[in-house]
Amino acid sequence: MSQLTPMSAQERIKAIDIMRGFAILGIFLVNMPDFNSPIMYLKPGSWWNHPLDRFTEAFIDIFAQASFYTLFSFLFGFGTIIFRERILSKGYSFGRFFSRRLFVLLIIGCIHAFFIWHGDILISYALTGAFMLLFHNVRPRYLLIWAFILLLIPNGLLSLLLLFAVLIGEEDTADFYDEKLANEALEHYRDGTFIDIFWQRWHDWVYVNNVEGTIFIIISLLPMFLLGAYAAKKKWFSDIHTNEKTLKKVWFFSFLIGFIFKLLPYWTKKNIFTEYLQEMFGGPATAIFYAVTIALLSQKQWWNKILSPLAAVGRMSLTNYLFQSVFCTLLFYNYGLGLYGSVRPFYGLLLTLVIFCLQINLSKLWLQHYRMGPMEWIWRTLTYGQKQPLKRAIKQE
């Protein structure tokens, strides 16, 4: 058996690293309002009325909401197949190491969710990722079939139920929002003690991760895991030139489907039916559109140069995802600067871009000296059960 070591820079697929970096930016755009306000309990537009803020909310809703956690899910599935091929090529058991990989991710997710920020996605990835043990050895064709079955059937049935509710006049979304809970979150995060913040964080996590929320997450993530696995097995991004014709077709149809559903609540009426279609069908389609767009653009020299800085963030995606949570909770919670509830959406967008530019530069600087991010090193070391090389080799003159 060969020794398990991290992929070298030459072995990595640069387009995938760029996609991961872009996904980290998009996730940050969506998470920023939740970092700095009790938006999960508020009816959209109920706190901020300035035209710039309304524009910002609409921009994020159309171009980012439900598009980037699904993009990262797609990349998670893609990465699972790459991990599988690498493990098997070295003579090891995929099931054993993948299970350990998910367990370590689950532990990291629990620490993140309960001690840093309630909006963690890593727990969901780790738990849903366990289903990949059933699918990793499936032929590409059947991965695609299962992805569409899991995407279309449950969401199609739920969409029909929501349409029926709208038709009979039961479309009131007031039950989804609670200003009392919003004010409690504001009080605890902005003015509370560390213990107050801990229990508020716990309450927020439980509020989202109930039975319905868990089912929703699984039917959101698993189809994208399978689509990503399909793309990896078909070598969409490891051999872009050969697959260019297919990728262009996927690009066209994902753009068409994605933005038809994304804009649906804006050119018809916002209600529980149109917003569900927007998120559950528009989100995955635009995620695929973004992935394929980056793959095709990365083949152009000028665009490759423009997009390359995102690759450094993508190579350290776990570290950068957690960095955003640590930085923003220190910025907004009372044990930091206590700015919770005081940042308008437009300024939150600007702040997101500033922090992300900082992450680009820090990532590039770090990778000049180290092979991977610190959290990636911990994840891989615990997964493989042996200390992984971290420092880059010093070039000999």
Per-residue pLDDT 10s for the chain (397 aa) are 566 666 656 668 999 999 999 999 999 999 999 999 999 898 776 778 889 999 999 999 999 999 999 999 999 999 999 999 999 988 889 999 999 999 999 999 999 999 999 999 999 999 999 999 999 999 999 999 999 999 999 999 999 999 999 988 876 665 567 888 999 999 999 999 999 999 999 999 999 998 888 888 888 999 999 999 999 999 999 889 999 999 999 999 999 999 999 999 999 988 899 999 999 999 999 999 999 999 999 999 999 999 999 999 999 999 999 999 999 999 999 999 999 999 999 999 999 999 999 999 999 999 999 999 999 999 999 999 999 999 987 553 3
Side chain identity at residue 3, one-letter code: Q
Q: Tell me whether residue 19 is exposed, middle or buried, using C-beta atoms within 10 angstroms of its C-beta: 0 to 12, 13 to 18, 19 or more.
A: buried
Residue at 41 is within a domain: yes
The CA distance from 322 to 379, in Å, is 13
Residue at 8 is within a domain: no
Give how far Cα 286 sits from Cα of 22, 307, 335, Å.
13, 18, 38
Q: What is the pTM of this model?
A: 0.94
Residue at 171 is within a domain: yes
Residue at 321 is within a domain: yes
Residue at 2 is within a domain: no
Residue at 270 is within a domain: yes
CA angle 46, 351, 190 (to 5 degrees): 55
The token duo for 226 is 């399978």
DSSP state of 280: I
CA angle 127, 40, 320 (to 5 degrees): 55
- CA-closest candidate to residue 14, choices 397, 308, 339: 308
The token duo for 197 is 């913040």
In sign, the C-alpha dihedral spanning 98, 102, 107, 108 is positive
Torsion from C-alpha of 282, 48, 163, 287, nearest 10 degrees = 10
DSSP 84-109: HHHHHHTT--HHHHHHHHHHHHHHHH
Q: Tell me whether residue 17 is exposed, middle or buried, using C-beta atoms within 10 angstroms of its C-beta: 0 to 12, 13 to 18, 19 or more.
A: buried
Residues 87 and 97: beta-carbon distance below 8 Å: yes
Residue at 394 is within a domain: no
Residue at 392 is within a domain: no
- For 44-76, the pLDDT digits (tens) are 767 788 899 999 999 999 999 999 999 999 999
- For the chain, what is the domain count? 1
Domain extent at residue 237: 14-384
Side chain identity at residue 133, one-letter code: L
End-to-end Cα distance, the chain: 33
